[in-house]
Each structure stands twice: as structure tokens, then as C-alpha cells.
Amino acid sequence: MLHYLEQAMSDAPKQRAPELEFANVSRRSFLTIAATGFAVAAFTTQAGAFARYKTGGDFMPHGIRYDPKIFVSIDADGTVTIVAHRAEMGTGSRTSLPMVLADEMGADWSRVNIVQAEGDEPKYGNQDTDGSRSMRHHIQSMRQMGASVRHMLVQAAAKKWGVDAGSVTVGVHEISSGGRKAGFGDLAADAMALDVPAFEDLTFLTEDQFRYIGKGNISITDLHDITTGKAVYGADVSLPGMKFAAIARPPAVGSKPIRYDATATFKVPGVEKVLGLQISNFPAKFAPLGGIAVIASNTDAAIKGRDALEIEWAEGPHSGYNSKAFTEEMRATAKKPGAVLRAEGDAKAAFDGAAKVFARDYSQAHMAHAMMEPPVAVANVANGKAEIWAPVQSPFGTRGDLAGALNMPIEDVTVNVTLLGGGFGRKSKCDFAIEAAQLSQRIGAPVKVQWTREDDIRHSFYHTTSVERIEVALDADNKVTGWRHNSVAPSILSTFAPDSGHQFFIESGMGHIDMPFDIPNISVENGAAMAHTRIGWFRSVSNIPRAWAVQSFVAELASEMGRDHKDLLMEMIGPDRLLDPPKQGFPENFWDYGEVYDEYPIDTARLKNVLAIAADKAGWGRDLPAGEGLGLAVHRSFVTYVATAARVKIIDGKITVPEMHMAVDCGFAANPERIRSQMEGAAVMGMTTAMHSGITYENGAVTQSNFHDYPMIRSDNYPQKVHTHVVPHGFEVHAAGVGEPGVPPVPPAIANAVFAATGKRLRDLPFGDTV
């Protein structure tokens, strides 16, 4: 995400291409492989088991590394150590990527250790853990590095034993030739001293030889530590002489303290210092909000001391923000023409000539991520060096931002990545790490900054608020001839650059421009909305309001026409085809999640397939008892296709969800067990989003503060049985995103089910848990 924001701000080509490969390619070609032909030349391999393909990973800063000497080491006792270079926030990437490498090299998983990389992209390649990219961008490099180590072990054995390499076979964690046998550890020193082989010299496992890849038969590497309390998250780091800080931040972004009284604060035992911090206003990227910091000898004293501060805040630049009125402003804007992002056919003519126009709008409130671990960081800035321990999604980005904030060369800054107690995009923004580092620099001691839950709910980088208005033109036969979708929402870009009120290409690529329906006349539009708080990305980002609107709308349209929802949805998606962006009026800078479009095209057959699976498994069309209903939704995001079928049961007016089916097509399923856990989790987060997640503002300040008024789904009302159906594919169907795509179809599926059960249509998120 960050990478694309930097691109958007620099006004560079929206999809930056590797210089050599794309130098002469017209951007109008959408970077198609067929058009350039480079892929055939560059990626032919003797290994038929593994035909390499191009991913967006090569376009990310520092790209992808293929050197096993960076990622793998083998001890003399045979212990294999593999580096996890992506942040672990619950998706399982810290396990699943090393698992791929281990399988391909022949390692026994029980003899594999995982070590977490520090933030160092020149060494490890891109480490920006968001966008559902870890497996999608790195599965190939993990296989290649595994195959390289296996090749090196074979070469070392052949040389040592004086035999032909062709006679050497690799078993699980051992090498043999004729009667000779050696463990990996016996050959490690010789093998790792060899040059890394070229890709063309490698052989790859065939899929029937996989032991772990695609099996879902291993547990996450931190499972034992998590269940015994030994796993280390951000707040669990402790340094000698460390001080503890809590910060009072401005109620509205940019408000300054007029005066404060710390008398009561200093009466709290353990409080040592009170420091003023510079106030910031957006656009300021991840600069801390500023405020007043309380330094103490323990966290309890820091928080109590902070809470005891009496502060009078001045009105600030955003003190007039009232989100209820703002939603109505957006609603009015959405009814007017917006800037046209995609024009196909002649939408105006279709609406002018329509027998009937059907229009609805759908809103969403801001959301805070509310990961269970609030922001926290430990920093030690001393002797011209800075070392930070923090749960960050983008450790190298954090390192750069810290270097800037501390006015130090980046070489003198070290960022150690702990486990993340949830991330969901919030921990891509390193303001909390900067706070800790600046405080440490100021007081000359190591500092831990702990955010309270109230701090987290009130001072986030929020999911945007939105109104999505959809209108269709119908002809005399009730056929949809025109589609207009105007999206109005403050942009994430406002956090990084002066705000134009308009969204940028990645927000528009998330379920807006890429709308897959087979409709001849389409106008995709964006009306302006200015930001009045810090806007950031939240798991699934703009896909949440887009799926909410589009998938609710089609159900409403079906009801209006007296049609079956599934039939109409299938019909609107239309014949099996790959969308052709230039022919279908997509803009030149259309963003397909950073991928080369032809490698990850929009495929209506795959979209319909997941919809059919979810509907069939849920028993679509069957009779249900009174007070129950089934609802469907389908959405492509992060180049993965997910359909949700939700069954709701209304009990004394309360919406419950006894059952949900999640059908997911994410290409090759590298770790089906973690895919299932992500879908189960998405069902829960989607239900929280649907019913509860509403951050509202009065006079620039967030109204909510903790889990009593910003509630989460709990075990007393959760999707009780989530059935995950993973569409099986071979390795040739490129692995796609998993962390985010499960969420967007869940809220509309639940709302459509509520309509089926009660006849009541819900159009505003969150809609509460009663009906």
C-alpha cells in the first residue's frame, strides 16, 4: 500500500516496471506478458514441474531475493534455520513461507528453526507485509531457494563420495548414493560453500512429491509458545533501565494544548517526567500526533499519570468534523455526477432511454482496526544509534521513517520485528515506533510507549467513511442496460499529500472500476469528499464498501424484479470470459493489485464458480423456517475470488448467524489449513464490520473509546459454523491473496440473509445486531 502511495504522490507511472523488462512497453498494453514476450525468454525452465510466472513482487521496492545463503543455514547437527522476512500478524506467513522452502529442500519440518528478519530490504527483498501478498509474491522464491539448497547438498555429496551427481538422491533430511548415506548436517559446510546454482540448473519437486506444500498438515511455528505465554509481542520486550510512557494526544487531529496542569500526575507514585510533544496535522504520513507524554517507572504509573493530566485543548483545524452531517453531505454528492473513472458504451444514452431507473445508496462509518494488541514500541536511542523493537508490518519502511524522524543515517537504525498481536493495516503505520524513539532520544534512556485501548480507538488511521450510490437503467424487458456507480469517500492519499477530495488508483481498483458485470453501458464515477481525520488502510480496504454496495444492490434489484437473487447475479456476471481492461473502458492506470494483468486477469468463470459452490453448499432455494434466511454475496479482491452464503436466524429480534459457507478460489492453495483459519476469521471480522464497527465524530473527536461502545463479535453470537470450500488447483494456477479477500462478501451476505428472513433492507454499516 505504502509503495503505491509513494507512486501516486510522485506522479510516476502508476505501475512502475522493472527497467530492463518493460522499457519499451506501452502502458496502454497493461503490461501484458503476451504483448512483450519477455516471459517466455526469461523464465523458460528445464524444470517442467515449475514454470515460473511474473508477479507484482518484482515491482515492489527491493523486489524479491532468491539467494538461499541469505535465508537458509544448516548446522552440523542438521538443524535447518530459515529466515522469516515477512511480519507475522496472524495469517501464518511466518510458518507457511519457510514451510514451502523446507519442503522443496527436503527438510524435516521438526528439525527446522525459524528466525525473524530485522528490517533490511536491501538484504531480504521487500518486507512490506500487507496487500495479501506474502504467499502470492514469495512462493516462487521460496521454492527456488529450497531447490537450490537441495542441489547444493547433492553436489557436495557427489564430490565428497566421488560419484556422479545423478546417482545421488535426496530423502527427508538425508542424502544417499548407492550404499552411502549422510544427513544434511554432515554435508552442510561443504554444500553451503558452493556457488548458488542458476535457476536453469535446478530441478523441482512435482506436486505429488510435496510433503507440506498444499497439505495443511503442519501447525504454526509459534503454537507452543503462544499457548504457554512465551511468545514475544511488542510490549513483551524489556531493556535494562527502560522507562515507560503514555501519551495524551489531541482529541481532534491538529489541536494544540493551550495549557495543562500536571499536579495530580506528579502525585502518582512512579511518575518521573512530563514532556510536551510537537503537534502534527495531516498530511504528515506517519508522524506522531503529538501531545503530552508522561514518563514513569512502570506502565501502570504512566497510564494513571497520563489520565490525571488536566489539559485544555484549543480548537484545531478539524474540530468542526461531525460525521453524521458529513455522511449526508456525501449522500448528496453521490447523487451528482462525479469524475468519470471508467466509461464503457454510452451510459448517458442508456439512462436517457431507460424504461425504468433503479437507484440505491449504501453507507459505511469509519472503522478502527482494534487489533487485540494496541500499538506499542520499545526504543533505545544512544551513542548515535537507534534500536527499536516493535510489532510493525513494514519494518524497513519503519526504519526509513525513524531515520528521518531522528535525523540519523538509516544504517544507524535497527528495527527488530516482534510478533504482531493483530495488524489489519494499523501496524503499517509506525507513528508509535517514532514516538518511542523520539522520547528515548530526548530522555537518554530506553523507552516503551504503550497505547491504551482508548488511545487506539481514538487516535487511529481510520478506515474511510463512504457513500456508494448505484443506479441502473432497465429496458422494457427489465434487462440492465446501464450501470452508474458513484463512490464518495475521503482518500487514504490525504494522509500523505494535500487532499483533492478524490480517491486514487488503488482505491478505485478495489471493486469499483473492476466491476465485472456484463452490462453494455457503464459509468464508474468518484465524487469528492475531503478528509477530516487521519485515513489509513484497514484489512480489505475499499473492497468492504464496494462489495457492501454492489452485492446488496443486486439483491435489491432481484427483489424489485421478482427474480431469484442467485439467478440474477449469475446473469449479470454473464458469460465465461476474461475482462479486457482497455476494451472495457478501464483507465490506463487501472490497478490489478499490483499484478501483471494477464497473469491475474478478472475471470468471470472463477467468480461464478465460487458463487455456485457457496450457494449449493448452503442449499440455496430450500425452504427455511420462519425467521431464518439465506443471503449470498461474491467479490474478487487481492486477485482472489470469494463467495459467502450466510444463514441467519432472528431470535427475539437479535440477528444470529448459525452457519456460513465461504467458497474461496485463491489459485494454488499453499497452506489450506491457514486458508481455512483466515476464512473463519474473515467471517467473524465481517460480522463485526456488519453489525458493530462504527467510529463517529463530534466536534472533531472520536465518540467511542473502548469495547463497550466499539464492540466486537464475541462467543455469545458469532458465525457458529463456518464451512470453508477451497477450490483445488495445481501449482500452475498462480497463488493469490488470502488474508484480506474473505472479509468483503460477509456483510452483504448477512444483510441479504436478514432481508430474506425479515423483509427489512439494511443499507448502512454498521447496522447493529437487532432487526
Partner 1 sequence: MATVRINGQSRTIDGPDDTTLLWAIRDMAGLTGTKYGCGAGLCGACTVHVDGKAVRSCLSTVGEVAGKDVTTIEGLSADGNHPVQVAWREYNVPQCGFCQAGQIMQAAAILQEKPDLTDDEILEGMSGNICRCGCYERIVAAVRHVSTGS
Residue ranges that bind partner 1, judged by CB under 8 A:
88-92, 219-220, 222-224, 226-233, 235-236, 238, 244, 269-270, 298-301, 303, 370-374, 419-424, 450, 452-454, 673, 677-678, 680-685, 706-708, 712-716, 718-722
Beta carbon of residue 532, minimum distance to partner 1 (angstroms, whole number):
26
Smaller CB separation from partner 1, 319 or 678: 678
Smaller CB separation from partner 1, 440 or 677: 677
Phi (first) and psi of residue 35, to 5 degrees? -70, -30
Smaller CB separation from partner 1, 154 or 271: 271
Beta carbon of residue 133, minimum distance to partner 1 (angstroms, whole number):
18
Cell numbers found for residue 709 = 461502545
Smaller CB separation from partner 1, 426 or 636: 426
Beta carbon of residue 140, minimum distance to partner 1 (angstroms, whole number):
25
**Separation between Cα atoms, residue 751 and residue 761, nearest integer Å:** 7
Q: CA dist 566 to 531, 550, 594, 767, Å?
A: 37, 14, 31, 23
Beta carbon of residue 221, minimum distance to partner 1 (angstroms, whole number):
11
Smaller CB separation from partner 1, 121 or 130: 130
Which of 195, 153, 189 has its CA nearest to residue 174? 153
Smaller CB separation from partner 1, 110 or 227: 227
Smaller CB separation from partner 1, 318 or 647: 647
Beta carbon of residue 590, minimum distance to partner 1 (angstroms, whole number):
32
Which of 79, 43, 85, 40 has its CA nearest to residue 65? 85
Beta carbon of residue 490, minimum distance to partner 1 (angstroms, whole number):
24
Q: CA neighbours within 13 Å on the CB side: how many for 69?
A: 10
Smaller CB separation from partner 1, 423 or 629: 423
Classified as helix, coil or strand, 112 is: strand
**Separation between Cα atoms, residue 763 and residue 536, nearest integer Å:** 23
295 bridge partner residues: 245, 273
**Separation between Cα atoms, residue 339 and residue 353, nearest integer Å:** 22
Bond preceding residue 625 cis, omega within 30 of 0: no
Amino acid at 670: A
Beta carbon of residue 699, minimum distance to partner 1 (angstroms, whole number):
24
Beta carbon of residue 713, minimum distance to partner 1 (angstroms, whole number):
7
Which of 589, 515, 509, 579 has its CA nearest to residue 542? 509
Smaller CB separation from partner 1, 71 or 244: 244
* Residues whose CB is less than 8 angstroms from the CB of residue 320 and which lie 6 or more positions away in sequence, other chains included: 532, 699, 700
**Separation between Cα atoms, residue 157 and residue 149, nearest integer Å:** 12
Q: Is 263 exposed, middle or buried (0-12, 13-18, 19+ CB in 10 A)?
A: exposed
Smaller CB separation from partner 1, 515 or 687: 687
Question: Are the C-beta atoms of 445 and 439 separated by less than 8 Å?
Answer: no
**Separation between Cα atoms, residue 568 and residue 320, nearest integer Å:** 44
Q: Where are the beta strands (DSSP E) in 59-179?
A: 72-74, 80-84, 112-116, 169-170, 174-177
**Separation between Cα atoms, residue 727 and residue 748, nearest integer Å:** 22
Question: Are the C-beta atoms of 645 and 614 separated by less than 8 Å?
Answer: yes
Beta carbon of residue 304, minimum distance to partner 1 (angstroms, whole number):
8
Smaller CB separation from partner 1, 301 or 379: 301
What sign results for the dihedral spanned by CA atoms 217, 220, 221, 226? negative
Beta carbon of residue 303, minimum distance to partner 1 (angstroms, whole number):
7
Smaller CB separation from partner 1, 51 or 372: 372
**Separation between Cα atoms, residue 283 and residue 5, nearest integer Å:** 12
Residue matched to cell numbers 510435496: 210
Beta carbon of residue 212, minimum distance to partner 1 (angstroms, whole number):
14
Q: Is 20 exposed, middle or buried (0-12, 13-18, 19+ CB in 10 A)?
A: exposed
**Separation between Cα atoms, residue 233 and residue 389, nearest integer Å:** 9
Beta carbon of residue 749, minimum distance to partner 1 (angstroms, whole number):
15
Smaller CB separation from partner 1, 434 or 662: 662
Beta carbon of residue 84, minimum distance to partner 1 (angstroms, whole number):
15
Beta carbon of residue 96, minimum distance to partner 1 (angstroms, whole number):
12
Smaller CB separation from partner 1, 428 or 494: 428
